[in-house]
């Protein structure tokens, strides 16, 4: 860890402490804040994967059940499913139940509900390639062993007291690298990352889907297996922005 990342993580800690000082939030205020952030996160996460619904259209589809003319049924289902998956990780984060491979499969099943019944919540049985990446994910017969190693490393990081933001970043980048599912790996990985952040008292990291932001995100992921620092910094900086946003909405100073 270099000094820059250490300072960003320290800022995360200070902002988290400030947010904790105003918790528990009033139920009414919390509901409105969470709903707004859930829609924005759903929009951006799906946007990264090529969904063309706008932020306003995403809100209409998720909260009002509106069908948007000119948009595919898959895009509608992606919005609805992702919003439900966020509800799931928020509830799971409070439950105290241990994060397991079953948790990951459940998140994935929610993401592909009504889209791909045969593959929802199931590890792939075919080879895959990651578009735009030189990395080749493991063959299907290696998935069980790779996922076991993935979970073992996660438990090691927890036992070693690794900073939660860094552990969350690991959960995302390592799961994407394994690519255990035919489709939906990116969304599932981002949700798993955010589940861990929520469980540790942080706020959801909302990685953006604009062309420039997506390029930076993919570049950081591409190099993460040899140099984890760029992706760790990306996640930590996004957590700082998220915490500041929450504090701003609550009328609290961000520093």
Residue 126: predicted pLDDT? 96
Taking all residues of the chain, what is their mean pLDDT, rounded to a whole number? 95
Among 17-26, 36-45, 46-55, 183-192, name the one with the lowest average pLDDT.
17-26
Q: Pick the catalytic residue: 82, 108, 163, 179?
A: 179
> What angle in degrees, to the nearest 10, is found between the helix axes of 3-21 and 229-249?
30
The pLDDT tens digits for 65-93 are 999 999 999 999 999 999 999 999 999 99
Count of beta carbons in the 10 Å neighbourhood of residue 207 = 22
**Average pLDDT for residues 106-129, to the nearest whole number?**
96
Give the three-class secondary structure for 130: coil
Q: Which of 40-44, 202-206, 247-251 has the lowest mean pLDDT?
A: 247-251
What mean pLDDT comes out for the span 248-254?
Answer: 80
For the CA atoms of 158, 162, 165, 167, the dihedral, rounded to the nearest 10 degrees, stands at -50
Domain 3-123+134-249: CATH superfamily, name plus number = Fido-like domain (1.10.3290.10)
Cβ contact 58:43 at 8 Å: yes
Alpha-carbon span 249 to 37, nearest angstrom: 11
pLDDT at 252 over 90: no
Annotated binding site for ATP: 183-190, 217-218
Q: Scanning the structure block, which residue is given the tokens 């019944």?
A: 117
Residue located via tokens 């609290």: 252
Binding-site members are: 183-190, 217-218
- Residue 57 pLDDT > 80, yes or no? yes
- What residue ranges do the domains of the chain occupy? 3-123+134-249
- The mean pLDDT value for 23-32 works out to 78
Burial class (CB in 10 A: 0-12, 13-18, 19+), 132: exposed
CA torsion sign, 130 to 150 to 232 to 111?
positive
Which parts of 69-184 are beta strand (E)? Answer: none
Q: How many CA atoms, within 13 angstroms, populate the side-chain half-sphere of residue 236?
A: 25
Of the chain, the percentage scoring pLDDT greater than 90 comes to 85
Residue 198 clears pLDDT 80, i.e. is over it: yes
Q: Is the pLDDT reported for residue 39 higher than 70? A: yes
Report the percentage of the chain scoring pLDDT > 70. 99
Average the pLDDT over each of 29-33, 137-141, 207-211 and give the range with the smallest value: 29-33
Instruction: Answer yes or no: 179 catalytic.
Output: yes
Does residue 194 register a pLDDT over 80?
A: yes
Q: What's the CA gap between 197 and 200, in Å, rounded?
A: 5
Rounded to 5 degrees, what angle do the CA atoms 74, 75, 81 make? 85
Mean pLDDT, residues 141-165:
98
Stretch 149-165: mean pLDDT: 98
Indicate the Cα dihedral angle 35, 41, 47, 49, nearest 10°.
-120
Closest CA to 8 of 244, 252, 169, 239: 239
Surface-to-core class of residue 13, CB atoms within 10 Å of its CB (0-12 exposed, 13-18 middle, 19+ buried):
middle
- CA gyration radius for the chain? 18
Residue 255 in this model has a pLDDT that exceeds 70: no
């Amino acid at each position: 860890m270099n000094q820059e990342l250490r300072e960003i993580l320290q800022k995360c800690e200070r902002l988290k402490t400030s947010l904790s000082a105003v918790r528990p939030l009033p139920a009414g205020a919390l509901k409105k804040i969470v709903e707004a952030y859930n829609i924005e996160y759903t929009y951006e996460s799906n946007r990264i994967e090529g969904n063309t619904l706008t932020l306003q259209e995403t809100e209409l589809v998720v909260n009002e059940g509106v069908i948007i003319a000119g948009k595919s049924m898959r895009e509608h289902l992606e919005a609805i499913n992702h919003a439900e998956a966020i509800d799931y990780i928020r509830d799971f984060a409070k439950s105290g139940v241990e994060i397991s491979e079953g948790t990951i499969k459940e998140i994935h099943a929610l993401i592909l509900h009504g889209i791909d019944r045969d593959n929802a919540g199931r590890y792939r049985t075919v080879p895959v390639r990651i578009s735009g990446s030189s990395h080749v994910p493991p063959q299907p017969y290696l998935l069980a062993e790779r996922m076991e190693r993935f979970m073992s490393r996660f438990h090691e990081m927890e036992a070693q007291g690794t900073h939660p933001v860094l552990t969350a970043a690991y959960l995302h980048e390592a799961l994407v690298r394994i690519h255990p599912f035919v489709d939906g790996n990116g969304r599932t990985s981002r949700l798993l990352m955010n589940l861990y952040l929520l469980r540790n008292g942080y706020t959801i990291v909302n990685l953006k889907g604009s062309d420039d932001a997506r390029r930076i995100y993919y570049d950081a992921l591409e190099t993460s297996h040899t140099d984890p620092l760029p992706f760790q910094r990306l996640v930590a900086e996004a957590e700082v922005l998220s915490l500041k946003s929450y504090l701003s909405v609550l009328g609290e100073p961000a520093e």
